[in-house]
Amino acid sequence: MKTTALLVSLSLVCLCLFSAKVDAADSATVNATVTAQNISVTVSSGTIAYGILPVNTSKSTIAADLNALQTATNTGNVAEDLNIKGANSTAWTLAATPGAEQYTHKFCTTTCTTPPTNFTALTTNYQTLGTDIATSGTKTFDLQITTPTSTAVFTPQNVDVIVQAVAH
């Protein structure tokens, strides 16, 4: 019996010494990336010199007139919608039709060769210029101005046009 007890004791000691704690674990990585959205637009040439015009006179950027087609380019990293609006100058108000101290500014994106056909009057609120413009994509447009029917101001007026990009 002593031998059996000794063998059982030795077996238990060996079992305790050679038993390793087993932890079941493994890991894997999820590779994740993110890019910040960039909404950006440029306009080239971005400058129009209409020059000195008589009252109630129109001039445009079409090829037969100033030949100054404008190109808006999506310089962001996602598709964009482009909007356009006009602005009042320091002395003249942007209006749907020319009047005393009121001028009109219009834009056109297709078949612009015979102003005012296909030209849309700008307002001081944004209007759609183009939709779903791809990254590096462009939208071309022409502009036409008509000076007021009468004015008391004969200094240069800044009649800016603003192009806005928003995520599509």
Buried b (16+ CB within 10 A) or exposed e, 65-79: ebebebebbbebeee
Integer Cα distance of 99 and 116 in angstroms = 17
Say which residues have a Cβ less than 8 Å from residue 33's Cβ, sequence separation at least 6.
none
pTM comes to: 0.82
pLDDT tens digit sequence for 48-66: 999 999 999 999 999 999 9
Exposure letters 119-133 (e unless 16+ CB within 10 A, then b): bebbeeeeeebbeeb
Q: pLDDT tens digits, residue range 124-143?
A: 999 999 999 999 999 999 99
- Residue ranges of domains in the chain, CATH in brackets: 41-167 (2.60.40)
Each residue's pLDDT tens digit, 14-40? 555 555 566 789 999 999 999 999 999
Distance CA 147, CA 151 (A): 9
**Please, are residues 138 and 109 in contact by the beta-carbon 8 Å criterion?**
no
Residues whose CB falls within 8 Å of the CB of residue 137, separated by 6 or more in sequence, listed in order: 73, 74
**Per-residue confidence (pLDDT) for residue 20, from 0 to 100:** 58
DSSP H/E element including 105: strand 102-108
Of 139, 128, 35, which Cα lies nearest the Cα of 78? 35
